[in-house]
Amino acid sequence: MIVNEGAVDQLEFLKTLAEKSDGGSLRGDYSKADAHYVVAQDWAAYTPEQHALWRKLYQRQARLVPGRACDEFIASLAALHAADAIPDFERTSEALFKATGWRLVAVPGLVPDHTFFEHLSERRFPVTVWLREPQEFDYIVEPDVFHDFFGHVPLLFNPIVADHLQQYGKGGLKALQLGGLKNLARLYWYTIEFGLMQTERGLRAYGAGILSSGGEIEYCLTSKTPRRIAFNGERIMRTLYKIDSYQETYFVIRDFQQLFDETAPDFAPIYARIKDADDYPANSLLPGEVDIGI
């Protein structure tokens, strides 16, 4: 849900919504959202054409994930039975709740940071209800139901990721108080959205932005252009990122336990330490760092 650098507080978010009618960029119908930005999914309203587009998106990505996505993602995706139609969030929630105690909530699109963190901290994952248009098959700026569901939901069935995301949500609420949102958003970006994992059988993707992308899923693993650097939380929190192109740097974890353990401590001392430090460009390699290559 966090898509850009810098804090988007409630007021700014509402301002963005207000601009929407003047050609602003946020999509989605917020008129029926409750105080937590939750709406009814209204599954029956999806058209046969939309389900067909979902199938095409799903089939393309399902062909790409073997050998590219981490095993945990592939196993959970298969168990979701989401290949044939846009999923009914309620049904998925029942299975998810049994597995890890999480639920999906339907939202009109991007939600304010505070709302997003609140949902995560209470083990609710916000999933956008609308699907991209056919001409956006390869690229979409804002997250749609395909990105949110295909990219994020499978790993919510993994107990460690499930606990990590709840912890992240709680950390987000704290970061809002401490002025650390910008830094914490970068962590989300470089892990939950664009993270790679080094496995015994080679590099694999676990970030939702990669796993829901037809192009970056191959690029991040095989292109010689981007850097691949071992995960370092504080370093990531100082690193800028690109929202309109493939990533210039990917950070690589060993496994989800590492991600959980290294992001568990209180970030307050880190925020204080890096508050006035310079940001690193998205393509930087610092002294002592190794590009682990491909």
Least distance to Fe ion, CB of residue 229, Å: 21
Nearer to Fe ion, 113 or 274 (CB): 113
Give the binding-site size for Fe ion (rule: CB under 5 A): 2
Nearer to Fe ion, 39 or 208 (CB): 208
Least distance to Fe ion, CB of residue 168, Å: 13
Out of 107, 208, 211, 253, the residue judged to bind Fe ion by CB under 5 A? 208
Least distance to Fe ion, CB of residue 193, Å: 5
Interface segment toward Fe ion; rule CB under 5 A; list 78-86, 140-148, 178-186, 264-272: 140-148
What would the x/- binding string for Fe ion be over residues 66 to 105, using CB under 5 A? ----------------------------------------
Q: Is 2 in the site for Fe ion (CB under 5 A)?
A: no
Q: How many other C-beta atoms are found inside a 10 Å radius of the C-beta of residue 79?
A: 12
Starting at the earlier edge strand, list the strands of the sheet with 249-253.
Answer: 202-205, 196-199, 249-253, 227-230
**Ramachandran assignment for 213, one of left (phi > 0), alpha (psi -120 to 50 degrees), beta (any other):** beta
Residues in the chain: 294
What would the x/- binding string for Fe ion be over residues 143 to 162, using CB under 5 A? x-------------------
Interface segment toward Fe ion; rule CB under 5 A; list 66-74, 103-111, 138-146, 239-247: 138-146
Residue 200: φ, ψ to 5°: -60, -25
* Residues of the chain by 3-state class (helix, strand, coil), percent to 5: 50, 10, 40
Alpha carbon 13 to its chain centroid, in Å, reads 19
Paired strand residues for 221: none
Residue 251: φ, ψ to 5°: -105, 140
What does the binding site for Fe ion look like in residue numbers (CB under 5 A)? Answer: 143, 208
